[in-house]
Structure 1
Amino acid sequence: MAKHAKKDGERVDRRSYLRHIGAGATSVVLAGCTGGDGSETGSPTTSGGPDDTDPDTETQAPDTKRSDETLVIGMASAPDTLDPHNINRLSAQEIISSFAEPLFRDNPEGEPTPHLVSEWEQNEDASRFDFVLEEGITFHDGETFDAEAAVWNLKRIRENSSVASDISASTITTVEATGDYEFYVEYEDPFPLLPRRLTIWNFSMVSPAAVEEAGEEFGQSTVVGTGPYQFDSWNRGTAVTVTRFDDYDWGADWLTTQGPGYVGEIQFEHHPEGSTLRNELTNGDVHGSKSVQLSYAKEIENHENTQLARKEFTRQSYLCPNCQSSTFSEVDVRKAVVHAINKEAVMRSTVSGEGYPIWNCVTPNHSNSLGEKESKELGQQFNPKRARELLENAGWTNSQQSEVRSRDGEDLSIDFFTYTIEREKRAGRAVAPMLERVGFDVNLEILEAGTLYNKVESGEHDLLMMALGGTYGLSWLENALHSSRWFTEDSCCNFSIWENEEFDQLIDDTKSEPDPEVRAENVKQAQRIALEEAPVAPIFGYNKIFGYKNEVSGVDNWTEHAWWPVEQYDRYMELFL
């Protein structure tokens, strides 16, 4: 068996570790959700005088950073629930990650590392995993976190979570405790991705006693986890407040503190109007936010009261042609759409240039990406002339440029949906005239998310503006393009309604393949098929930003993490005023 441990337990080298856990996946998040990632561009201030410094680091010693001050985090949207097993929106992740924790964490190098777990091992074909939990961990209600609680959580996730498929829950045969702090998970088939998937915030551990006592109120008036902060209150439409959990001492080894967070309280304030959130950050009471509209990034960066951290990230803007529709069932027509789009122009009009053009929705920042060079070679470049040629080849003709094309007496008319969210609305308005210039008749509908999803579920769309986030290439491909993920009420997020047997088989094989090199090649081959078939039209990847007041310190402690600030946990431990 392969063994893995942390702290004083048995260790394995990086090569051996990656061979066993490989390149896995994590959950993805739809347009309408707010996410972020970036690299430091400002220099956070440090408080404290000479008597408050650590001589080894010449920074303020951890204990002296702790205070009863309140850190205010600004958010653009509010969650419906704070139950991690019943929601998959980043507005919820931002709050839930302060008080609830998964069994594993991604370390700054992107490797899944035991967190609430102390040791784990898997059998030779990765169909059984045995775990030993850290002792001494408690929930905020005083209940012990033990094997019985871990098993209860995994069974609840298997039955309730909308992203249970990320741990291949339907193929789990057994989840059982074998001791006070030992349990195992067994699968019908090999599933070597489990440790990586167990870093996902949706799979955080919650108190069984609290769930059973609160009933339907769990996630509303009551939420109990093991994190560095504990839930205090939820004032609907205004803010969620969490307070420091002073008994916390199991923080990750790579943080400057393994104990409780530095600030005494965090308020997550809801500011749905973009300009209001910007004003609250620059001149109001908000101390930091990753939810500020990208169009305000430079303003925040240049303001005398604020600083900005920024980095290219995996979240991207792209188009989904309905591959089951009569118009977009043909590859040439789908490729014509890609050739018609000026990526740089859309990016400028949508996010004021806070992004980067992409030719493959598995961006260079994803794991196992083809990379920019091969993606650009295989993908379709901005070339309106080529777009017109492809449409001509498909029988869609016109007598002059920009005139609506027709075939067999039918106009090339499409229903194009986008969200009321400002950036998606701008993107749709930028793309529509580009398609019209090559001969499409575009009916652009700007819809509230619920209405849009209902129409898409009914197959009423020809083309859809979408944004989807995630950190791992396999996860993005499976969720966005596998035929089992055709968008319905219970499934997400193949909005293109695309199906390709070879692609599906590659994705399915990757999830059970124990050899990481084979997994990596499968993911790359799946990308090549997608680029050839053009079921999506990549446009640009987003920059992720974190804007913060000058008096906020600790940002430089966590911006080096590969997934910041999607990895919320580091931030809640490290930031102080």
Structure 2
Amino acid sequence: MSNKSMPDTDRRKLLKTIAAGATVGPATLLSGCTGGDAKTDVGGSTTEQSEQDTETGSSGGSDATDSLSLRILLDHPFDQFDHNTGWMGPPARDIYQNLVDRDYDMKLQPGMLKSWSFENDNSDLVMTLREGITFHDGSSFDASHVKWFMMDYLMNGSGTSYMVDGVVDDVVIEDTYTARVKLANPAPNLLWNLSSGYAAVPSKGAYEKHGDDYGRSIAVGSGPYKWKTRDGDRHLVLERFEEYDWSPDWIGHEGAGNAKEITYDVITGTASRTAAIETGEADAILTGLPPTKVQSYENNDEITVYRADGRQIRWLGFNLNPEKAGVIAEDLNLRKAISYAIDRKSIVDGLFQGLGQPGVNLLPPTVPSQDISDEYNHSFDLDKSKSLMEDAGWTVNPGGVSTKDGEEASFELLTTNASTARNLATIYQEQASKIGVELKPKVVDEATVQSRIKDGDFETIVEGYTWQNADILDWFFAFDMTPYPAWFGVQEGREEDMRANELIEAGMSAGSWEDRIQKFKKAHEYLMENLVPAAPVHYPEGISAVRSEVEGYEFYTLGTTAETISK
């Protein structure tokens, strides 16, 4: 049995657009950022589903006889396959291509572009397009399509306008396969944005023809597989695009995809999902492999488990608004003490079956700005935690709760009723009690959590997110973020918050990618030392399981490189 391991934005306008309908909070996913890219998660949706909550999807493979068919399982229903949805899911990576890709190691690579370069002091981005690319409807890809895509499609998409509005002034068509993007300011993050799920490139003709129905009954891209049938939000069949012969170099594949058809089925019930791969009814579980199954699958010759660094972090969050949270917001040493009191390794080993890594700071390990000086990272140190409490003037009363100036270190811990979130709340409560801090779990439904986050109405919270860019710090700490300006309760009149905001803004406006990384590192270190808005706890792994007869599968954090798969 083999075990594969692989190493692995300016979003303000987006946030305003999703205020009305998207859910942003602990137990659901950050629904407004990118399909397959951004999520907020407290505790793993897959193991929290009832075993009776089962959607079986299709019963097996296709009727195709000239080549193989694949059946791939997901745990999360997909939505609309365009730039106005929160969850497009892995199938979008088979239907569409991007101007810029992220490879298996999450490094930027040419996708539909042959190359790019920044010119005129980084005020122009010159794109050289790959020739010969066509969409599933037969329409061609050229520089005029790039202009429409950036100045119309992205500019008017509720999930994408932030990528170009105020960033791109114009796109000049220099010739059929050359487009010059005129930038309002240097924008090193633009290429990363163009590699996201929301920035997948559709057929202009199909998008305009189908209007509001586009992405629901049809989606037309230039990827290796094209839309065949869809049944609701849990069953999708794709068929091979026979003309496809422009797979990006980093994938290492020539010609059309190996499989004739690929069926994506959503099975929310954990037992039914795992039974399908164990019996061979499905070829892969792409999302939703429960930690409890990993070890047994790694010892099963019929199944291969793929593991890699993920894009997610779980943490214990603090409200920094003293009007809402009182002493927890006012006392930096108290927040630090709670963070150092959390035994992350015991949580990873116990609750998560040893999968993932102990969290040490506010960014996941696949983000370059996560790699800050170790002196700013947090790890379990009970002695240090108790010392911080003493230094701050806290003493443990006979009832076991620390007091200071007549006030007890007793705080509500907001959580949803998802099982992993509730388990984490119980663990945080027990571990914080060792330093005399009383965390009182308050279990509510998801809608209530969302409402209370919007109002800044919490003291501590079981929280987390999935995102792979340091600009998530801007999301959480910028003063003018909407609809969640008080996510962590940052205060414009408080010196530490002002300085943090300045450092984050420096990262957001950096002139180059390397400069951006370094400036976000400084902001990150400052947050960990001077604000401590959260106690980082767990970096989950990206995990998938594939039947051993399947060949050519490569673990890909953003979905699949489906054209390479055969059996």
Query: Which TM-score band (shorter chain)?
Result: 0.7 to 0.9
1:335-346 equivalent positions in 2, closer than 5 A: 335-346=336-347
Asked if 1:307 corresponds to 2:298, the answer is no
1:407 is displaced (CA, Å) by 4.6
Amino acid at match of 2:488: S
Match of 2:451 in 1: 454
TM superposition shift of 1:486: 6.2
Report the RMSD for the aligned CA atoms in angstroms.
2.9
Aligned pair partner of 1:382 in 355, 370, 380: 380
Matched residues in 1 for 2:326 and 2:438: separation?
A: 15
Say whether 1:398 aligns with 2:389. no
Aligned to 1:565: 556
TM-score (norm 1): 0.79
Is the Cα contact below 8 Å between 1:456 and 1:487 reproduced in 2? no
- Report matched runs for 1:27-426 at 5 Å: 28-31=38-41, 68-83=67-82, 85-89=83-87, 92-108=88-104, 110-154=106-150, 155-162=152-159, 164-165=161-162, 167=163, 169-291=165-287, 292-324=289-321, 325-329=325-329, 330-370=331-371, 374-375=373-374, 377-400=375-398, 403-407=400-404, 409-426=406-423
CA distance in 2, matches of 1:293, 1:108: 23
Q: Percent identity at matched positions?
A: 21
Structure 1 residue runs of 5 or longer lacking an equivalent are: 1-24, 37-65, 559-563
| Residue type of the alignment partner of 1:360 | N
1:284, CA displacement in angstroms?
4.7
* Kept after mapping to 1: 8 A contact 2:97/2:223: yes
Q: Structure 2 vs 1, CA of residues 470 and 340 (structure 1 numbering), >3 Å: closer, same or farther?
A: same
Scaled by the length of structure 2, the TM-score of the pair is: 0.81
Distance 1:440 1:190, change over 3 A: same
Name the CA shift for 1:110/1:76 in 2 (closer, same or farther; >3 Å): closer
**In 1, Cα distance between equivalents of 2:117 and 2:45:** 33
* 2:465 match: secondary structure: strand
- On the 8 A contact 1:130/1:182 being kept in 2, the answer is yes
Report if aligned partners of 1:290, 1:565 keep a CA contact under 8 Å in 2. Answer: no
Contact 1:192 1:514 in 2 (8 A): yes
CA–CA separation in structure 1 for the residues paired with 2:43 and 2:564: 24
2:53 aligns with: none
For the 8 Å contact 1:415–1:443, the answer to whether it is kept is yes
- Give the number of aligned pairs: 503
Q: CA deviation at 1:203?
A: 0.5
Partner letter of residue 310 of structure 1?
A: R
- Separation of aligned partners in 2, 1:293 and 1:169: 40
Alignment of 1:478-489 (within 5 A): 478-485=474-481, 488=484
The answer for the alignment partner of 1:525 in structure 2 is 522
Aligned partner letter, 1:170: G
For residues 163 and 501 of structure 1, do their structure 2 counterparts lie closer, same or farther at Cα, with a shift above 3 Å needed? farther
Q: Is the 8 A contact 1:341 1:431 kept in 2?
A: yes
Q: Is the 8 A contact 1:158 1:170 kept in 2?
A: no
Residues 216 and 264 (structure 1 numbering): CA distance in 2 closer, same or farther, change over 3 Å?
same
Instruction: Supply the distance in 2 between the matched residues of 1:32 and 1:203 (Cα, whole angstroms).
Output: 26
The CA distance in 2 between the partners of 1:232 and 1:432, in whole Å, is 50
User: Match for 2:213: what amino acid?
Assistant: E
Is 2:500–2:526's contact at 8 Å kept on the other side of the alignment?
yes
Three-state SS of the structure 2 residue aligned to 1:159 is coil
Q: 1:147 to 1:169 in 2, by over 3 A?
A: same
CA contact (8 A) 1:327 1:462 kept: no
Mapped partners of 1:394, 1:304: distance in 2: 56
How many angstroms does 1:227 deviate by? 0.8
> SS at 1:508's partner residue?
helix
Question: What is the alpha-carbon distance in structure 2 between the residues aligned to residue 182 and residue 173 of structure 1?
Answer: 17
* Partner in structure 2 of residue 541 of structure 1: 539
Check whether the contact 1:415–1:445 (CA below 8 A) recurs between aligned residues.
yes
